[in-house]
Amino acid sequence: MRIVVVGGGRVGTYLARELVRDGHTVAIIEANPEQARAAVEDTRVLVFEGDGTDLELLRAADAHRADWVLAVTGRDEENLVAAQLSKTLGARRVLARMNDPMNRATFEALGIEVIAVTDLMVQVISREVSIPELASHELFAKGRVQVVEFEVPETFTPRRVADLELPGDSVVVIVSTGERVRFARGDTVIGPGDAVVAAVAIERVPELRAVFEFEANGT
């Protein structure tokens, strides 16, 4: 399939790598020049540097001929506009990342399919995550990607998500400290006792465990 990914950050490049591995033709649109260059190096796919809400840029990336357009930037407004414009251009299907649940009605009113981190967060809260070992949940990408959750051990030294040496094929999604649940961003600090939800390639699960369970105590 022909797929256009709007947003070349960690989520977008992760998706691109997995989709290329599945044999799909992928193009990325990324506005930030530094992230665009990193996306080229990381994915080896065609990357268009510019605004994903620019109609002409979407057309240049072949959104009008795409089987899927995935709008996965960190801003709901950009994802909504990119998805809507792609539908107008003729993309067969569009999917948008939704960060703020207050925007769900807007996406639905425009007929935009969404994937919401908040839905996963609600599942985590409902299960009252507080487990010392890695627990696995849903499998994605034909069983190659797994959503996992775990409690950070007491030996772990607090640090920002951006400072973690995470495996390449992994994304920290949610960090829960007591009753406070946060979407993980680069400046989100993870500390001992926090509950973490992450998506990781199956073969990288041991590396993800090592980052949190063994790195801090040197074993």
The predicted structure's pLDDT at residue 178: 81
The CATH code of the domain that includes 190 is 3.30.70.1450
Q: Please tell me whether residues 8 and 75 are part of one structural domain.
A: yes
The predicted structure's pLDDT at residue 216: 36
Tally of domains within the chain: 2
Report the C-alpha gap between 57 and 67 in whole angstroms: 17
Q: Please tell me whether residues 47 and 106 are part of one structural domain.
A: yes
The CATH code of the domain that includes 59 is 3.40.50.720
Can you read off the two tokens belonging to residue 202? 């199956």
Q: Please tell me whether residues 21 and 72 are part of one structural domain.
A: yes
**Under the phi-then-psi rule, with left for phi > 0, alpha for psi from -120 to 50, and beta for the rest, what region is 91?**
beta
Q: Please tell me whether residues 106 and 137 are part of one structural domain.
A: no
Closest CA to 52 of 25, 32, 24, 26: 32
Mean pLDDT score of the chain, rounded to an integer? 83
Residue 167: give the domain boundaries: 127-214
Q: Please tell me whether residues 39 and 144 are part of one structural domain.
A: no
pLDDT in tens, 125-153: 444 433 334 455 444 545 567 778 888 98
Name residue 19's amino acid: L
The predicted structure's pLDDT at residue 11: 85
Tokens 């400290």, residue? 177
The predicted structure's pLDDT at residue 118: 56
Going by the DSSP 8-state scheme, the letter that residue 128 receives in this structure is T
Rounding to the nearest 10 degrees, give the CA dihedral for residues 60, 66, 68, 71: 10
Q: Please tell me whether residues 80 and 166 are part of one structural domain.
A: no
Asked whether residue 16 is assigned to any structural domain, the reply reads yes
Asked whether residue 193 is assigned to any structural domain, the reply reads yes
Which contacts qualify for 112-119: CB closer than 8 Å, 24 or more apart?
Answer: 112/80, 112/83, 112/84, 112/87, 117/173, 117/174, 117/183
Question: Chunked in runs of 10, what are the mean pLDDT values of the chain (219 residues)?
Answer: 92 87 92 93 92 96 95 93 95 89 87 74 45 46 69 90 87 86 87 89 83 54
Q: Please tell me whether residues 140 and 112 are part of one structural domain.
A: no
Q: Please tell me whether residues 19 and 108 are part of one structural domain.
A: yes
Q: Compute the Cα dihedral for 90, 38, 204, 194 and give only its sign.
A: negative
Report the C-alpha gap between 97 and 201 in whole angstroms: 20
Q: Please tell me whether residues 109 and 14 are part of one structural domain.
A: yes
Please report how many Cα atoms fall inside a 13 Å half-sphere around the Cα of residue 141, on the Cβ side: 21
Q: Give backbone dihedrals phi and psi of 122, rounded to 5 degrees, phi first.
A: -60, -40
Report the C-alpha gap between 3 and 63 in whole angstroms: 8
The predicted structure's pLDDT at residue 212: 84
Asked whether residue 122 is assigned to any structural domain, the reply reads no
Q: Please tell me whether residues 98 and 160 are part of one structural domain.
A: no
Q: Please tell me whether residues 144 and 206 are part of one structural domain.
A: yes
Q: Please tell me whether residues 109 and 22 are part of one structural domain.
A: yes
Name residue 207's amino acid: E
Report the C-alpha gap between 101 and 121 in whole angstroms: 11
The predicted structure's pLDDT at residue 119: 59
The number of beta carbons lying within 10 Å of the beta carbon of residue 105 is 9
